[in-house]
A and B are shown apart, each in its own frame.
Chain A
Amino acid sequence: MFPANFNYVRPNNIREAVQFLNEHKDDAKVLAGGQSLIPMMKLRLAAPEFLVDIGRLPELKEIDLDDAVLTIGSLIRHADIETADLIARACPLLAETAAEIGDAQVRNRGTIGGSLAHADPSADLPATMLVLDARFSVAGPDGRRIIMAEDFFTDVMTTALRPNEILVSIEIPKMSRRTGCAYVKMHQQASGFAIVGVASLITLGRNGRAEDVRVGINGVSGVPYRAHAVEESLRGKPVDERNIAEAAALAAQGVEPLSDIHASSEYRREMATVYARRSLQRAAQRASAPQRH
Chain B
Amino acid sequence: MAQIKQTIKPNGKYMGRRIMRKEDPRLLSGKGAYVDDIHLPNTAHVAFLRSEHANARITKLDISRARALAGVIQIVTGADLRGVVENIPPMGVLPDLFVPQHPVLATDRVRYVGEPIAAVLAENPYIAQDALELIHVEYDPLPVVVEMEKAIEPGSPLVHEQSKSNVAGTFKLDSGDIERAFRKADRIVTGRFVNQRVAPMPMEARAVQADYQAGEKMLTVWSATQIPHLLRSSLSRLLKVPENRLRVIAPDVGGAFGGKLNVYREEVLLPLLAMRLGRPVKWIETRRENMRAMIHGRDQINYVELAVTKDGRMLGLKCRTLADIGAYPQMLTAAIPTLTAIMATGCYKIPALSFELTDVFTNKMATDAYRGAGRPEATYLIERIVDMAAAELKMDPAEIRSRNFLKSSEFPFTTPSGLIYDSGNYKTCMDKALDLAGYNKLRQQQERARKQGRLMGIGLSTYVEICAMGPATSDPPGGGWESATVRIEPSGKVTVLSGASPHGQGEETTYAQIAADQLSVPFDDVTVIHGDTASVPPGVGTFGSRNTAVGGTAVYMSAQKIRTKMEAIAANLLEINPKNIVLRDGTLQSKLNPKKSVSVREVARAAYTAKKLPPGMEPGLSETSFFSPKNYTFPFGTHVCVVEVERETGEVKIIKYVAMDDCGKVINPMTVEGQVQGGIAQGLGQALYEEIIYDDNGQLVTGSLMDYAFPKATQLPEYICDRTETPTTSNPLGVKGVGEAGTIGATPALVNAVVDALAPYGIQHLDMPLKPEKVWRTIEEKPEAR
Contacts and interface: CB of A to CB of B under 8 A. Distances in A.
B264 interface: no
Contacts of A5: 126, 130
Contacts of B649: 186, 271, 274
Interface stretch (A84-92, A127-135, A262-270): A262-270
A191 B688 CA distance: 15
B303 interface: no
Interface residue SS majority, chain A: loop
A160 interface: no
A190 interface: yes
Nearest to A275: B649
B11 interface: no
Contact of A270 (B287, B693, B776): B776
Interface in A1-36: 1-5
Interface residues of B, number: 29
Given A2-B126, A274-B648, A190 B773 contact: no
A291 interface: no
A261 interface: yes
Nearest to B771: A189
B405 interface: no
Interface residues of A, number: 21
B689 A261 contact: no
B702 A189 contact: no
A190 B710 contact: yes
A190 B707 contact: yes
B706 interface: yes
Contacts of B709: 189-190
B729 interface: no
Contact of A190 (B128, B648, B705): B705
B13 to A, nearest CB: 41
Contact of B707 (A44, A261, A267): A261
Interface in A27-57: 43-44
B474 interface: no
Nearest to B715: A189
A261 B777 CA distance: 14
B79 interface: no
A44 B772 CA distance: 32
A253 B648 CA distance: 19
Given A190-B705, A190-B706, A2 B693 contact: no
Interface string B751-786: 000000000000000000001110011000000000
B708 interface: yes
B286 interface: yes
A191 B701 CA distance: 14
B172 interface: no
A262 B133 CA distance: 30
B90 interface: no
A261 B693 contact: yes
B706 A267 contact: no
A211 B689 CA distance: 42
Interface of A: 1-5, 43-44, 103, 186, 189-192, 261-264, 267, 270-271, 274
15 contacts: A2-B128, A4-B130, A43-B288, A44-B133, A103-B712, A189-B688, A189-B689, A190-B706, A190-B709, A191-B705, A261-B693, A261-B701, A261-B702, A262-B707, A263-B773
The 8 nearest A-B residue pairs measured at CB: A190-B709, A189-B709, A191-B706, A2-B129, A267-B773, A2-B126, A1-B286, A274-B648
